[in-house]
């Protein structure tokens, strides 16, 4: 079949699940299933909402008379899977396992691939995700926090931020790669991001980190008070929370829910119209914090901002939008795109694969990165800079150092090349090092025998690829060796 393809898209958000059916890029229907704070409060973890939301989606399809065997693909919103390039990914078992058992954070978008996969399996068709919330285009400077153990991460409404940014660029008569924008997604969670020449170079960590409070998230909080509350220290000594209870308080029961008992901005505005002064104060405070975050992100662009873009469900609120515009219009013209085009973007991602315009990407288990810690044992004098490595004991350090000293210059050159490329095949390595493919392959296999690289057989398991490629990447030990390479090169230079 060459088309038109019928694509089902599923977008679980913090307070709703959006469902749409496309024939090509034409929407046949689009509907939002709203989930009240009371309904969601019955679940201790977001993962526990899976059956509840799946059944809601299946019930919606049944009401619309949509047979599963009429579909060609199902797309779920991408969840938190670790930093990854943008694109369309085939849902596979590794992805499902990662989403069912998140290592750090939970988010409603984690449910997208799970629901899409179950429906796709019943229909015998592929399931995809597109531009997940973990798309990462940060500059290195944006990753640094005030504690070396804690890195700022890129977690955002990337799908809608990108679409809104491209729309604004078109309206400005330019390409996305030619403009600087500050884009704010205003929904159950709020993401504010500076876009510099086609890259989303920073964003507040909208899930459980920083930025404005939202309908149900606490946003940035005074860290000291959070610690005192978590450990029941005065003046919070009458409070006793588990980790799960504290997390729920920050994500799910924060923001408007904490202050006003609702995550529904329409209800808040109704209360304001009826004279509720506290509701007005809290709602305007949310607009104030959004505007303040926009101003902060404008400094990332050094004030060179072509436009400010407000998008997402809350952008339907004229009251909220006007409060924001009053505070930021002096920075740049403000464009307002209420709602979002995430559903279309998801369908377009699947269509590009089904039409053969691009191949679906495959998420595989990443090579474990050496944990970076500062250790004074490797202090380089007289500058005082520290070589960073993942060594805990003197014995381990000496053993690793001896192994690195035994490597030839050619082997070090190859390891450096692999690290820069992330992973490689012999042909690509050969082109980079100006050697024959056979030579590159032989060197890679010798390094594998030493335990410094691993061989990854990627069978290109998506339905649109045919060839198999042999990939190599650094092993855990290889990664650790690279952390002390600057020291080794200095020692060799002195000998």
| Full DSSP string of 373-413 | EEEEEEEETTTTEEEEE---SHHHHHHHHHHHHTS-HHHHH
Q: Are 123 and 69 in contact (CB under 8 A)?
A: yes
- pLDDT given at position 412: 84
Closest C-alpha among 252, 269, 313 to residue 37: 252
Q: Are 93 and 146 in contact (CB under 8 A)?
A: no
- Please report, in tens digits, the pLDDT of each residue of the chain (495 residues total): 556 899 999 999 877 899 999 999 999 999 999 888 888 888 888 888 999 999 999 999 999 999 999 999 999 998 888 888 777 899 998 899 889 887 767 778 899 999 999 999 999 999 999 988 888 989 899 999 999 999 998 888 888 998 899 899 999 999 988 999 999 999 989 999 999 998 999 999 887 879 999 999 999 999 999 999 999 999 999 989 999 899 999 998 999 999 999 999 999 999 999 999 999 999 999 999 999 999 999 999 999 999 999 999 999 999 999 999 999 999 999 999 998 888 999 998 899 899 988 888 888 776 444 333 333 333 333 333 333 334 345 566 667 777 777 888 888 888 888 877 766 777 777 777 777 777 878 888 888 888 888 876 443 333 333 344 567 788 877 777 776 676 666 666 655
- pLDDT given at position 256: 97
For the domain covering 373-494, report its CATH number. Answer: 1.10.10.10
Which CATH fold topology does 1-142+340-363 show? Nucleotidyltransferase; domain 5 (3.30.420)
Closest C-alpha among 486, 314, 306 to residue 386: 486
| Spans of all domains in the chain | 1-142+340-363, 158-338, 373-494
| Calpha distance 439→441 (Å, rounded) | 5
- pLDDT given at position 438: 76
- pLDDT given at position 489: 67
- pLDDT given at position 127: 94
- pLDDT given at position 279: 98
Q: What is the pTM of this model?
A: 0.65
For the domain covering 158-338, report its CATH number. Answer: 3.30.420.40
Q: At 230, is the secondary structure helix, strand, or coil?
A: helix
Q: How far is CA 102 from CA 80, 95, 260, 457, in A?
A: 8, 10, 30, 25
Closest C-alpha among 284, 329, 285, 296 to residue 310: 329
Same fold flag, 1-142+340-363 and 373-494 = no
């Amino acid at each position: 079949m060459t088309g038109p393809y019928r694509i089902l898209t599923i977008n679980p958000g913090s307070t709703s699940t959006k469902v749409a059916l496309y024939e090509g890029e034409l929407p046949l229907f689009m509907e939002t299933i709203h989930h009240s704070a009371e309904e969601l409060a019955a679940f201790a973890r977001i993962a526990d909402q899976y059956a509840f939301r799946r059944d809601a989606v299946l019930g919606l399809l049944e009401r619309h008379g949509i047979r599963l065997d009429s579909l060609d693909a199902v797309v779920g919103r991408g969840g938190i899977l670790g930093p990854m390039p943008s694109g369309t990914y085939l849902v596979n078992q590794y992805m499902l396992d990662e989403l069912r058992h998140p290592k750090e954070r939970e988010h409603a978008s984690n449910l997208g691939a799970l629901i899409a996969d179950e429906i796709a399996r019943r229909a015998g068709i592929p399931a995809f995700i597109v531009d997940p919330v973990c798309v990462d285009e940060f500059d290195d400077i944006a990753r640094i926090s005030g504690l070396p153990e804690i890195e700022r991460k890129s977690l955002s409404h990337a799908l809608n931020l990108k679409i809104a940014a491209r729309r604004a660029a078109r309206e400005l008569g330019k390409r996305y790669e030619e403009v600087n924008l500050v884009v704010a997604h205003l929904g159950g969670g709020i993401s504010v991001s500076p876009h510099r020449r086609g890259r989303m170079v920073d964003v507040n960590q909208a899930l459980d980190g920083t930025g404005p409070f939202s309908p149900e998230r606490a946003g940035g909080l005074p860290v000291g008070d959070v610690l005192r509350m978590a450990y029941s220290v005065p003046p919070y000594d009458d409070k006793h929370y588990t980790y799960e209870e504290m997390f729920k308080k920050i994500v799910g029961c924060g923001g408007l829910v904490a202050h006003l008992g609702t995550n529904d901005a329409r209800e808040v505005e109704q209360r304001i119209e009826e004279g509720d002064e506290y509701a007005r104060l809290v709602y305007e405070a949310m607009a104030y914090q959004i505007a303040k975050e926009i101003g902060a992100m404008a400094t990332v662009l050094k004030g060179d901002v072509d436009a400010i873009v407000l998008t997402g469900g809350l952008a339907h609120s004229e009251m909220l939008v006007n409060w924001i515009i009053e505070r930021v219009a002096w920075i740049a013209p403000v464009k307002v795109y209420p709602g979002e085009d995430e559903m279309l973007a998801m369908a377009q991602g699947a269509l590009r694969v089904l039409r053969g315009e691009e191949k679906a990407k495959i998420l595989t288990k990443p090579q474990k990165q050496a944990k970076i810690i500062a250790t004074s044992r490797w202090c380089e004098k007289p500058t005082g800079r520290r070589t960073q490595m993942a060594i805990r004991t003197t014995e381990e350090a000496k053993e690793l150092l001896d192994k690195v000293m035994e490597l030839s210059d050619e082997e070090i050159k190859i390891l450096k090349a692999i690290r820069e490329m992330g992973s490689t095949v012999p042909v690509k390595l050969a082109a980079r090092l100006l050697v024959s493919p056979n030579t590159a392959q032989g060197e890679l296999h010798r390094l594998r025998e030493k335990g410094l690289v691993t061989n990854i057989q990627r069978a290109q398991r998506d339905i649109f690829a045919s060839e198999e490629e042999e990939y190599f990447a650094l092993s855990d030990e290889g990664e650790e060796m690279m952390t002390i390479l600057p020291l080794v090169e200095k020692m060799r230079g002195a000998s």
